[in-house]
Structure 1
Amino acid sequence: MSPERKRLTREESRQQTRERLLTAAAELFVERGVNGTSVEQIAERAGYTRGAFYGNFEDKNALVAELLQHRTRRELEEVRALTEGAASFADALDRLRAWNRDRARHLPEWLALRMELVLHALRNEELRPLLAERERLARDAHAGGLEQAFAARGVASPADPAFLALIVHALEDGLLIQRLLAPEGIQGDVVVDAFDLLLRSWTALARQPAQEDAGEARSAVTEDPEGTA
């Protein structure tokens, strides 16, 4: 006899319903766009009634807001788990490469959903602050990673880490779009390659003032070896 199936608590059942509605909405947003998807279609795809939808979300905008937050938390947690468990920065980059290659296999759906959510939030003033907060969290994560990388190299950031993080974050979106349009010529881990190149360039830039100061000191000694100037 099979073991008796554990009954879900009311809260567990409610959470399961919300998750199914979010999953159904994500699938439909990719297929039809946010504006082209109705509440009824989301409920039907999830296997529920229209009433079940409104029992969990005030309206479609509320679901979009939840989906934005859900995706942000999940992606940040995944990347944080990868980097925190790395033995070295090189190991962290290798793990990030693997994560990006795996994401590349689902890039059309992943990017389409991201763009749909972003466009919908931009068109709805009430959602813009939430989108701004989501983007800030992503930039903060980049800034933290950059600061750790510079510290490991024994240099100070050559510019405000928040500004450098803005560059990295904007570049990531652009590279992913290019990867989607030309997958045969752009590797799935192109974002990590770009980040690595930027980091090495910025590290060299951070070291340049110290090298210039050392060069000026050597020049001064050469011009006045007796120190009589």
Structure 2
Amino acid sequence: MSRLRTRPTRDDTREALFEAAARVFEQDGIGGASIEAIAAEAGFTRGAFYSNFKSKDELIFAMLEDHVERSIRRNMEILAQHRNLDDFIAALKTMDRARQDPLARSPLLHIEMILFVARAEKRRPELAKRLRARRKLIADIVEATLRDSAKGETLNPPWMASVVLALEDGFRLHRLIDPETTPADSFLRAITDLRRRTGLATD
């Protein structure tokens, strides 16, 4: 009886390359990482790499896109179950980090990849698209959880999303620099405090 061979799907191959690239980038740096090293780390050949990505730059863009898509999917799944902002934040705090993608697990690598791409001016529009997608996600969450709850104040979800996103990125950077005084839940704690102090009740 012949043994049935199961070939990895395209999605499986891409995910393996993402994970391998993250490890190689962290070890060798983004600039020093070679396609050969990434493919070998994933257990593939150069041909397998090039059947999925034309270059290392394209791989990086795909990793950033995957990170944004996963973030949107995770948050919308939580929002579907928790329409109250306090409950939503509590669910984020207990979210299984092991299910997240390499960039969510390694904020330093995430920032390094963004800076690597941003150094080339022609690449910035691609980063802007991802930034707008993150803002829209937060604006949708703000609108869904705080609708008609601002006690007479007119909510501006897009602007609030920009503020929240800047706050999140700032805390991520502060935690990398000074983790002793910047707990892992600093961002979510700050959102909770701001909501309560500004009177944005969710009852």
Q: Confirm whether residue 31 of structure 1 aligns to residue 27 of structure 2.
A: yes
Residue among 49, 61, 65 paired with 2:61: 65
Moved over 6 A (4+): 100-103
Output the amino acid matched with 2:31: N
Q: Which has the larger radius of gyration?
A: 1
Output the amino acid matched with 1:179: R
Residue among 135, 151, 158 paired with 2:131: 135
For structure 1, the residue ranges without an aligned partner over 5 or more in a row are: 205-229
| Offset at residue 101 of structure 1 (A) | 7.9
| Offset at residue 15 of structure 1 (A) | 2.9
Take 1:28 and 1:125, find their aligned partners in 2: how far apart are those partners?
25
* 1:99–1:49 distance in 2 versus 1, CA, 3 Å: same
Residue among 79, 82, 86 paired with 2:78: 82
Identity of aligned residues (%): 34
Using structure 1 for the length normalisation, give the TM-score: 0.74
For structure 2, the residue ranges without an aligned partner over 5 or more in a row are: none
Residues 140-151 of structure 1: matches in 2 within 5 Å? 140-151=136-147
Q: Confirm whether residue 153 of structure 1 aligns to residue 149 of structure 2.
A: yes
The residue matched to 2:19 in structure 1 has which SS? helix
Take 1:24 and 1:68, find their aligned partners in 2: how far apart are those partners?
15
Take 1:16 and 1:55, find their aligned partners in 2: how far apart are those partners?
13
CA contact (8 A) 2:136 2:161 kept: yes
Take 1:5 and 1:194, find their aligned partners in 2: how far apart are those partners?
56
Q: Confirm whether residue 165 of structure 1 aligns to residue 161 of structure 2.
A: yes
Aligned length: 197
| Offset at residue 171 of structure 1 (A) | 1.0
* 1:174–1:87 distance in 2 versus 1, CA, 3 Å: closer
Residue among 166, 186, 208 paired with 2:182: 186
Take 1:107 and 1:201, find their aligned partners in 2: how far apart are those partners?
32
The match for 1:110 is 106
The residue matched to 2:9 in structure 1 has which SS? helix
* 1:194–1:158 distance in 2 versus 1, CA, 3 Å: farther
Take 1:157 and 1:30, find their aligned partners in 2: how far apart are those partners?
46
* 1:7–1:87 distance in 2 versus 1, CA, 3 Å: farther
Query: Structure 1 or 2: larger helix share?
Result: 1
Using structure 2 for the length normalisation, give the TM-score: 0.82
Q: Deviations over 1:151-176 (max 9, x none)?
A: 15254654532122111101111112
The match for 1:177 is 173
CA contact (8 A) 2:114 2:127 kept: yes
Superposed CA RMSD:
2.9
